[in-house]
Chain A
Amino acid sequence: MTEGPDLTERELSRNDLLKLAAAAGGAALLGTRAGAAGAALSRLGAESGRLQVLDWVGYGNDGGQAMSAQYVKRYPKNKPQFTVMANEADALGKITSHAVNPDLFRPYVGWVKYFAKSGLVQPWDPKLISNFKNLNPFMVKAGQYKGKQYGIPADWGFDSILYRTDKVHPKADSFSLLFDDRYKGKITWYDDGVEMFCVVGYLFGVKNPYNQTDAQLKRAKEFLISKKHLVRNIWTSEATMNTDFASGNVWIAYAWPADYWTMKGKGLKVRYMLPKERPIAWVGMFMLLKNTPRYHLAHAYVDAWSSTKSGKWLEDNYGYGHANTKARPSSSDLLRALRLGNPRAVTEPNAHLDRDTPRRELYLKLWEEVKAS
């Protein structure tokens, strides 16, 4: 993340100022044209500089450039400048402490309500996004709060279990495999308190694991602590988990569909299990920061991301689904394995879509205690 061409920014604003002055002078002279000039002026004057994007690893200049290629082509002077968010909590911390001042970022669907209520973000204007009409309606709905479109769906997939078929023989297609005593030291969990507590919740048949009672949470916490000794590590970086898996350090992983695709590509005998409790599903949601000076540019960026072309690229290269229903991967294998053709794949009863967790702070606090025990 080389720091952007600050010089260009300043030059831009100087140029803009000159143009502003000229236009203002011209507008004053022409009088009746003032309205149109005013609109053009406000647009020009308000939106300059590089688009500040806060996104996950692998979606910036470290691999994901193709997703925004159309935007970059159209607005070369406002190329995106990426900062990495380790996860949504990290993004929350960075945004509120003003360590980073992004224009947009990409939390996942479970956080939409939280951020919408936080006052940190503003809703999108779907009219400014040409590809909006092609986006999966279920996912679009999931991105709404109080009727406004706070989140624009981007990528989607499942949280489930990846395991080596040559080393592991699960007793059943169930989340219980993550807690199987037979495979001590060969299991890796994902470092997200909400997801892990929900997995346990679904395993125990809890109705809505995203809003568990204190007693249920206590039981889940004790269960996790009791099973922790089976776990080699708790991964935060997908790439590290992939290496661990590929090198045989772990045989069972809490994983995403892309990981299955990657391991299969390395020639490993793997299976991506969709458990009888039904997998958890997630959708990435672009959200727009409240006081962004680059409102239209942000929309243009998201529009590029939402295009069929970008969608196809994502599915082909990252093995994730894309919200654009017209985007189809080149491989029919992938299409089938990841249920990419089914627009209802992420909804009940097929999967449990991540949702708002009102007591998220408590979940994460308890998870920290699980890790610290």
Chain B
Amino acid sequence: MEVTSPAEGAPRKRIAPSADLTTPSLLGLPLAWLVVFFLVPIGIVAAYSVDVLHLPITLGPHGFTLQAWHDFLHGSTYLGLFWKSVKLSLIVSAVVVLFAYPLAYYLALSGTKRKYVLLLLLIAPFLTSYLLRVLAWKVLLGDEGPINSFLFSTGLRSPDHPLTLIDTRFAVMLVLGYIWLPFVALPIFVSLESLDRRLLEAASDLGAGRLQAFWRVTLPLSAPGVFAAFLFVFIPTLGEFVTPSLVGGTSGYMYGNAIVSKFQTGFPDWKGGSVLALFLLGVVGLLTVVFARFLQPKQVVTE
């Protein structure tokens, strides 16, 4: 039974309250929930990937084997698809962060009076439906959609040669960028907002120009926010399958689509699919751990 004394420097003698909300009783439920419904499932995926568990319909002998992992790591198809998806996600994330930074900078450092309102205005679309925003682009990008019909009417393109916008890798990148841009501005904004202005003033006092001050002071100090932003968009994008399936066409096929087809639309291959899913999780986990040191989470946890 823990005696909790949260006070700092309390002069009086404290009567310990009847400790009915002890740490274990508080943490027990949330931790248990996550263990049962988050950790254990991942373990089960691992079990499927090594054939310790299997779908009833699959034939052949079963038992622990690393064959599926071996096939994946030594075959070129799915690894190749993975790298293709990584490249696409990198481009999207980089572009989005590049665009989001000036936005966050403006909100945090321009001294505008309604910065929170503007921030909300920026973020609000992100909190509305993802699918519906993809739908909007599906409508916009068609060969006879608004963009192309506009081009036809102004004579920039003839109706026989519309701009092929949809069913392309470009469409996937554009839509994903559109989806994530609002959300990505947030961590950058947070880190810029907590920037100590006096540092900038000091820099200016020492003769630094604005650009120099930005380069040597602001940018490095906002790096955690930038890294966080990059991760926020890179990780989900890597596992994307909805947008590619709606606007990607043949060339926009991504790693996430391959995983989904192992479990849903294609012949059920839970072993192979588990390997693909775990690999993705592993890469993402690794990235998070590596970047965590750069993130310096803003004192979320008080020791």
Contact = CB atoms under 8 A, between A and B. Distances in A.
A341 to B, nearest CB: 35
B143 A236 contact: no
B80 interface: yes
A89 B55 contact: no
Contact of A86 (B55, B77, B251, B264): B264
Main secondary structure of the interface of B (DSSP, over half): loop
A365 B269 contact: yes
Contact of A234 (B55, B250, B262): B250
Nearest to A360: B267
A233 B250 contact: yes
Contact of B258 (A232, A247, A368): A368
B227 interface: no
Contact of B80 (A118, A233, A361, A373): A373
Contacts of A231: 250
B267 A371 contact: no
A5 B266 CA distance: 32
B139 to A, nearest CB: 11
Contacts of A368: 258, 261-262, 266
A232 B166 CA distance: 9
A97 interface: yes
A361 B262 CA distance: 11
A36 interface: no
Interface in A327-373: 360-361, 364-365, 367-369, 371-373
B268 A93 contact: yes
A13 interface: no
Nearest to A185: B164
A174 interface: no
A372 B258 CA distance: 7
Main secondary structure of the interface of A (DSSP, over half): helix
Contact of B142 (A249, A372, A373): A249
B268 A92 contact: yes
A53 B154 CA distance: 51
Interface residues of A, number: 32
A191 interface: yes
A63 interface: no
A286 B272 CA distance: 30
Interface string B239-278: 0000000000111010001100111111111001000000
A200 to B, nearest CB: 16
Interface string B119-155: 0000000000000000000000011100000000000
A93 B250 contact: no
Contacts of B56: 96
B144 A232 contact: no
B232 to A, nearest CB: 27
A233 B249 contact: yes
B143 A92 contact: no
A11 interface: no
A86 B263 CA distance: 12
Contacts of B249: 232-234
Contacts of A92: 57, 267-268
Contact of A248 (B144, B263, B264, B266): B144
Contacts of A185: 164
A247 B272 CA distance: 38
B24 to A, nearest CB: 36
Given A96-B56, A97-B55, A233-B249, A89 B265 contact: yes
Interface in A75-89: 86-87, 89
B144 A90 contact: no
Contacts of A236: 265
Contact of B167 (A97, A193, A233): A233
A249 B138 CA distance: 13
**Residue among A93, A364, A372 with the highest chain B CB neighbour number at 10 A:** A372
A247 B263 contact: no
Contacts of B250: 228-229, 231-234, 371
A236 B267 CA distance: 14
**Residue among B78, B257, B266 with the highest chain A CB neighbour number at 10 A:** B266
B190 interface: no
A179 to B, nearest CB: 13
Contacts of A232: 164, 167, 249-250
A373 B77 contact: yes
Interface in B148-177: 162, 164, 166-167
Contact of B144 (A86, A87, A233, A247): A247
A354 to B, nearest CB: 16
B295 interface: no
B47 to A, nearest CB: 15
B221 interface: no
Contacts of A90: 264-265
B81 interface: yes
Contacts of B81: 372-373
B249 to A, nearest CB: 4
Nearest to B254: A372
A373 B257 CA distance: 12
Interface in B67-84: 77-78, 80-81
B80 A372 contact: yes
B118 to A, nearest CB: 38
Contact of A96 (B55, B144, B162, B272): B55
23 contacts: A86-B264, A89-B267, A93-B263, A93-B268, A96-B268, A97-B55, A185-B164, A232-B164, A232-B167, A236-B265, A247-B143, A249-B142, A249-B143, A249-B167, A364-B266, A364-B267, A365-B267, A365-B269, A365-B272, A368-B258, A371-B253, A372-B77, A373-B81
Interface of B: 55-57, 77-78, 80-81, 142-144, 162, 164, 166-167, 249-251, 253, 257-258, 261-269, 272
Closest 7 CB pairs of A and B: A233-B249, A364-B267, A93-B268, A372-B81, A369-B77, A89-B267, A233-B167
